């Protein structure tokens, strides 16, 4: 099984797809609003509309594929919804181990008992 993407990678992919959708829609609207009567320009505009609409559909399909993969990983328990990557998990575990070691040292040395007297 392949490794799960980090939250930063997912955010980057989402932002890229949204940018693509917006850009393609703007391109379609810009092409559709030009007024020309020559056959050549009409053919070029038709081709541009075909290319932009295909790219728009592709970007929408990529967003759908992304949401599907996120749902699957979430259902099977592998999606990290808190946004921690491996470095964050290791850092948190190290802090917990350090805190446990300090607590044990205090209890073993009787620092709390001496301070209470």
Q: Are residues 96 and 67 in the same domain?
A: no
Q: Are residues 96 and 52 in the same domain?
A: no
Alpha-carbon span 69 to 72, nearest angstrom: 5
pTM: 0.57
Q: Are residues 71 and 110 in the same domain?
A: no
Q: Which domain holds residue 110?
A: 84-117
| pLDDT above 90 for 54 | yes
Q: How confident is the model at residue 1 (pLDDT cuts 50, 70, 90)?
A: very low
| pLDDT above 60 for 114 | no
Contact by Cβ (8 Å): 22, 52: no
60 contact partners, CB below 8 Å, separation of at least 6: 21
Q: How many structural domains compose the chain?
A: 2
Q: Are residues 75 and 34 in the same domain?
A: yes
Q: Are residues 56 and 43 in the same domain?
A: yes
Q: Are residues 46 and 36 in the same domain?
A: yes
């Amino acid at each position: 099984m392949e490794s799960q993407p980090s939250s930063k990678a997912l955010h980057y992919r989402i932002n890229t797809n949204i940018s693509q959708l917006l850009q393609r829609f703007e391109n379609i609207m810009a092409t559709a609003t030009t007024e020309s009567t020559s056959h050549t320009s009409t053919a070029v505009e038709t081709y541009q509309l075909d290319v932009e609409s295909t790219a728009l559909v592709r970007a929408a399909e990529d967003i759908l594929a992304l949401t599907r993969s996120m749902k699957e990983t979430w259902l099977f328990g592998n999606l990290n919804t808190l946004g921690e990557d491996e470095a964050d998990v290791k850092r948190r575990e190290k802090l917990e181990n350090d805190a446990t070691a300090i607590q044990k040292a205090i209890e073993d040395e009787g620092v709390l008992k001496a301070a209470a007297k």
